[in-house]
Amino acid sequence: MTRLEGKIAMITGAAQGMGESHARRFVAEGAKVVITDLNEEKGMALASELGENVLFVKQNVTKAEDWEVVVAKAEEKFGPVNILVNNAGITMAKSILQTTEEEYRRIVDINQVSVFLGMKTVIPSMQKAGGGSIINISSINGIVGGAIGYTDTKFAVRGITKAAAMECSNYGIRVNSVHPGVIATPMVVQEDTKAAVDEFAKHIPLKRVAQPEEVTNIVLYLASDESSYSTGSEFIVDGGLTAM
Ligand SMILES: NC(=O)c1ccc[n+]([C@@H]2O[C@H](COP(=O)([O-])OP(=O)(O)OC[C@H]3O[C@@H](n4cnc5c(N)ncnc54)[C@H](O)[C@@H]3O)[C@@H](O)[C@H]2O)c1
């Protein structure tokens, strides 16, 4: 398994859920991987389990200074970065009338501004590396409407991906967005949500939610040179939900 041999990757929000799944597979495919998260305990545990080709750095993706530190540490340990997966994100399930300005600004910061900061900081490292691939994790709510705050920011991720793809084509860097449907991660499946998720799954054309590894397969393809002619595009992994 060497689809990412010689590549240096950075994955945000990788202490659990889909980010963790991407990190496990990237390492198995030969990459050196920097994983970041706010959750230091889980991030450190994953890095020590995965071994010497993984570095954990605690990071708040909304902070420009944290991005500078992560890139410096990545370059120091492994070299210039080839792959960035902007994965960290939060969800919010409130109505417009219930949502405070503070809550709204928080989700915009975490889901949207972080993607701008990540690309701005990592692109110079990719230029040193001679090119790269940026994968921005949006959602099917970047394609069709859902909750306030989440939908808006995930549409923004889809939009910034297209703007960045046009600019970055001048630097040998490809930029694409991934749009998962309902995926079995701690964000969605908790004790108190499990019954509702199972009920919702009956209405998905493939009649089930997905496992994180099924999204990782697309992310891996985009990270690898196999996707050499794809940039500025949307990659949907939703069991047919948006086809309905
Ligand atoms: N699970 C789904 O059904 C689903 C569907 C569509 C899109 N997504 C998107 O996929 C991505 C990953 O989701 P997941 O389901 O694995 O979520 P998750 O909640 O399981 O994991 C997200 C990780 O991001 C980290 N994080 C949150 N805020 C952060 C911050 N400010 N700085 C650094 N790290 C931070 C969390 O600590 C956590 O480890 C998110 O962008 C999410 O919006 C998820």
Q: What residue's CA is closest to ligand 1, atom 20?
A: 17
Q: What is the pLDDT of residue 69?
A: 98
**What are the chain's domains?**
8-183+212-237 (3.40.50.720)
Enter the pTM of the model.
Answer: 0.99
Query: Is 150 labeled as catalytic in the residue annotation?
Result: yes
Confidence (pLDDT) at 11: 99
Strands 8-12, 234-237: pairing is unpaired
Q: Ligand 1 centre and the CA of 170: distance in Å? A: 30
Q: What is the mean pLDDT of each run of 10 residues along the chain (244 residues)?
A: 96 98 98 98 98 98 98 98 99 97 98 99 98 99 98 98 98 98 96 94 98 98 98 98 96
- For the chain, the DSSP string reads --TTTT-EEEEES-SSHHHHHHHHHHHHTT-EEEEEES-HHHHHHHHHHH-TTEEEEE--TT-HHHHHHHHHHHHHHT-S--EEEE---------TTT--HHHHHHHHIIIIIHHHHHHHHHHHHHHHHT-EEEEEE--GGGTS--STTHHHHHHHHHHHHHHHHHHHGGGTEEEEEEEE-SB-STTT--TTTHHHHHHHHTTSTTSSPBPHHHHHHHHHHHHSGGGTT--S-EEEESTTGGG-
Ligand 1 midpoint to CA 87 (Å): 6
Instruction: Kindly state if the Cβ of 118 falls inside 6 Å of ligand 1.
Output: no
Give the Å distance between the CA of 12 and the centre of ligand 1: 9
**Does 87 sit in the ligand 1 pocket, CB within 6 Å?**
yes
**Ligand 1 center–CA 109 separation, angstroms:** 13
Q: Does ligand 1 come within 6 angstroms of the Cβ of 211?
A: no
Q: Which atom from ligand 1 is nearest to the alpha carbon of 150?
A: 43
